[in-house]
Amino acid sequence: MLDNLSTRFSKIIKTMRGQARLTEENTAEMLREVRMALLEADVALPVVRDFVAKIKEKALGEEVISSLTPGQALVGIVHGELVNLIGGEYDARAVELNLATTPPAIVLMAGLQGAGKTTTVGKLAKRLVEQKKKVMTVSCDVYRPAAIEQLKSVTAQSGAEFFPSTPEQKPADIAAAALDYAKKHYIDVLLVDTAGRLGIDEVMMNEISALHAQLKPIETLFVIDAMAGQDAVNTAKAFNDALPLTGVVLTKLDGDSRGGAALSVRHITGKPIKFVGVSEKIDGLDAFHPDRMAQRILG
Ligand code: GDP
């Protein structure tokens, strides 16, 4: 079991018995611990560097220097800064989907294969159905026949409507047909699942960009696996460059990852993390709480 940051800091202070005040040396040592904690939590290296530089600036400020418990003061600063960087104070409205448009409000899902897009569509559909919205899902993933079936199955559990598609169709044709149907049937929210490849490739990015241009979704959600670790930066960069993302869903937080991907993705995209996936089940979606995530990252 890893020590949490505050335990680590008190150990440092103790070993420096008699000089519990912050000095340049023990501050540097504590910053090394912050760095270690973040790296162990899988925050990407460039993001860690930026973060530690920010903390250093604050650590040398009055607040910490004059504190009787500088270790604790520093933990407070690290935690506060981390919360700021991954989203600030929890705001229930900020994490809800923006549906303020002429219906149907379109939500486009983006992310690598296996990130949890299809599962998340089911979870979002259920949540929206519970909010009394008329919801429809459609899969534009024509590469994995099982993907369409999977979406059909999770949609059935959600109580939303499912718009059928087949691997023989073109993604653009599926999207056009689904939108047309949604308009005629007064659907409030159309959730569009897309194909995800194992890695970033140009064909895939062009396809989803074209879908975005065609559908003009009000929400474009980037779905990323919390286990993505150091890869999170490159993946997030590629999707953020290709698409005007509006939010992030961090899945598989029920796994043993410390969730450092949250900080990396937020740093790269600047977009709010709206939801976290906390189980494989249809109700395993929670609103994102920056303070809880900061606690988890710091161990
Ligand atoms: P997609 O390829 O992006 O559509 O990913 P899927 O939705 O098919 O998810 C890939 C795998 O991850 C499936 O086995 C899901 O059950 C699982 N999964 C998705 N979200 C979560 C989550 O929040 N927690 C857990 N434990 N598993 C998840």
pLDDT at residue number 59: 79
Best of 118, 119, 141, 253 to mutate for ligand 1, by most ligand atoms within 8 A of CB? 119
The answer to whether residue 62 scores a pLDDT higher than 60 is yes
Whether 122 is in the pocket of ligand 1, judged by its Cβ within 6 Å, is no
Cα 279 to averaged position of ligand 1 atoms, centre (Å): 8
ipTM reported for the complex surpasses 0.85 = yes
β-pair partners for 219? 107
Cα 115 to averaged position of ligand 1 atoms, centre (Å): 6
pLDDT per residue as tens digits for the range 21-59: 677 777 888 889 889 888 988 888 989 999 999 888 887
The answer to whether residue 160 scores a pLDDT higher than 70 is yes
- For residue 100 the two structure tokens come to 């303020």
The answer to whether residue 64 scores a pLDDT higher than 80 is no
Cα 116 to averaged position of ligand 1 atoms, centre (Å): 4
Cα 114 to averaged position of ligand 1 atoms, centre (Å): 6
Cα–Cα distances in angstroms (integers) from residue 168 to residues 45, 144, 163, 239, 276, in the given order: 43, 11, 15, 26, 33
Whether 277 is in the pocket of ligand 1, judged by its Cβ within 6 Å, is yes
Mean of pLDDT values over 119-138: 98
Q: How far apart are CA 175 and CA 73, in angstroms?
A: 53
> In Å, how far from its chain's centre is CA 156?
25
β-pair partners for 277? 285
Is 76 annotated in a binding site? The answer is no
Whether 283 is in the pocket of ligand 1, judged by its Cβ within 6 Å, is no
Of residues 117 and 77, more confidence is placed in: 117
Whether 118 is in the pocket of ligand 1, judged by its Cβ within 6 Å, is yes
Cα 293 to averaged position of ligand 1 atoms, centre (Å): 20
Atom of ligand 1 nearest to the CA of 255: 26
Average pLDDT, the chain: 89
Atom of ligand 1 nearest to the CA of 154: 7
pLDDT per residue as tens digits for the range 188-244: 999 999 998 767 788 889 999 999 999 999 999 999 999 887 888 889 999 999 999
pLDDT at residue number 256: 84
CB–CB of 179/215 below 8 Å?
yes
> pTM here?
0.92
pLDDT per residue as tens digits for the range 180-204: 999 999 999 999 999 987 677 888 8
pLDDT at residue number 1: 41
The answer to whether residue 166 scores a pLDDT higher than 90 is yes
Cα 280 to averaged position of ligand 1 atoms, centre (Å): 6
The answer to whether residue 136 scores a pLDDT higher than 90 is yes
Atom of ligand 1 nearest to the CA of 115: 3
DSSP 109: E
pLDDT per residue as tens digits for the range 254-289: 988 888 889 999 999 999 999 999 999 999 999 999
